[in-house]
């Protein structure tokens, strides 16, 4: 059996998959996001609980909102900042008494979607997680591209393209820069821009009910998402872009964003890159983490 862990900014989710990929069990607990040792303990406890209930042990793969640097073996670039500078795979391995594989959560999401999800069969795919943060990943022929610096696909820490005067300099980011795409497109960024503290689904419901302020907030968001994705198309020209994370549940994105991209891409439309929602929804990242053993 394969156990996958999705370490998010607000929750830690575990899933166990049988050898045929079918789901055996799923659990989640809140992320103790300000305490590294507590994160290790929470993941270890989830794994032990799953194994106890199923009566067997499994391999463990973990998706994290960052990456492990190949030379140092330490986490970097995680927006759950207590992870940074720590050997997460080694510490988890010690806690569980076995090897643990760790990969960026967006890579896990895209591995799942490229395997049997929304990007299945695509030669080149780009994956986006728009939730607590704003991660990205690239897959070629179904396999995630890690890159020489282990940051392939990290579009969220590029500056927002074609920024307007009222968008400059942008909010400060935990990465040390200002004006990052993440600061405009992550779920908390949409809530902050709207100004009421409402989440994406609540803003969308208000817009559908005729709230002009909510509609304006979503149109700003869609414009910014289109600009950010246009630069990906200019570099990769992928067959498909898959959106995951909480904000990806806004159905209007898949109707409203592609026409905006068509107006921006070099040479104009028609746009042949498909913009789609992840097939496996909230399960996609944790499924990809579980499958780290055969793909890594």
Q: Residue 208 belongs to a domain with what CATH number?
A: 3.30.420.40
What pTM was computed for the model?
0.88
Q: Which residues of 85-97 are buried (b: 16+ CB within 10 A; e: fewer)?
A: ebebbebbbebbe
Residues in the chain: 296
- Is the CB of residue 77 less than 8 Å from the CB of residue 68? no
pLDDT tens, residue by residue, 150-160: 899 999 999 99
151 and 93 belong to one structural domain: no
**Same domain flag for 138 and 165:** yes
How many distinct structural domains can be found in the chain?
A: 2
> Same structural domain for residues 259 and 288?
no
Instruction: Examine the domain organization and report whether 75 and 205 are in the same domain.
Output: no
Dmax (CA) for the chain in angstroms is 59
- Domain for residue 113, yes or no? no
Range of the domain at 144: 120-278
The pLDDT confidence band at residue 31, using thresholds 50, 70 and 90, is very high
Q: Above 70 in pLDDT, residue 295?
A: no
DSSP state of 160: P
Q: How sure is the predictor about 282, in pLDDT bands with cuts at 50, 70 and 90?
A: confident
d(CA 35, CA 42): 11
**β-bridge partners, 178:** 172
Residue 215 and residue 70 share a domain: no
- Are residue 126 and residue 252 in the same domain, yes or no? yes
Q: Is residue 112 part of a domain?
A: no
CA–CA distance, 130 with 79 (Å, rounded to integer): 13
Taking a C-beta distance cutoff of 8 angstroms, is the pair 289, 46 a contact? no
| Residues 47 and 190 both lie in one domain | no
pLDDT at 296: 55
Of the candidates 139, 141, 150, which has an alpha carbon nearest to the alpha carbon of residue 64? Answer: 150
pLDDT (tens digit per residue) in 140-149: 999 999 999 9
């Amino acid at each position: 059996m394969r156990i996958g862990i999705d370490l998010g900014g607000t929750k830690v989710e575990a899933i166990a998959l049988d050898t045929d990929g079918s789901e055996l069990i799923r659990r989640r607990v809140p992320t103790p996001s300000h305490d590294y040792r507590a994160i290790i303990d929470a993941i270890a406890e989830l794994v032990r609980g799953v194994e106890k209930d199923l009566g067997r042990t499994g391999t463990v793969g973990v998706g994290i909102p960052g990456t492990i640097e190949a030379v140092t073996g330490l986490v970097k670039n995680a927006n759950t900042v207590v992870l940074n500078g720590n050997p997460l795979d080694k510490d988890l391995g010690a806690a569980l008494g076995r090897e643990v594989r760790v990969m960026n959560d967006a890579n896990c999401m895209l591995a799942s979607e490229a395997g049997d999800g929304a990007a299945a069969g695509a030669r080149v795919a780009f994956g986006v997680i728009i939730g607590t943060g704003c991660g990205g990943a690239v897959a070629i022929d179904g396999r995630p591209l890690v890159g020489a610096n282990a940051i392939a696909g990290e579009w969220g820490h590029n500056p927002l393209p074609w920024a307007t005067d009222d968008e400059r300099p942008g909010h400060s980011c935990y990465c040390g820069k200002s004006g990052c795409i993440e600061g405009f497109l992550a779920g908390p960024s949409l809530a902050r821009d709207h100004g009421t503290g409402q989440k994406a689904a609540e803003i969308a419901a208000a817009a559908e009910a005729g709230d002009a302020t909510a509609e304006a907030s979503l149109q700003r968001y869609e414009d910014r998402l289109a600009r950010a994705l246009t630069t990906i198309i200019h570099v990769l020209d992928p067959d498909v872009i898959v959106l995951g994370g909480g904000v990806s549940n806004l159905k209007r994105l898949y109707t409203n964003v592609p026409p905006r991209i068509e107006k921006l891409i070099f040479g104009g439309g028609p746009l042949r890159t498909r913009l789609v929602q992840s097939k496996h929804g909230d399960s996609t990242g944790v499924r990809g983490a579980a499958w780290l053993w055969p793909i890594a």
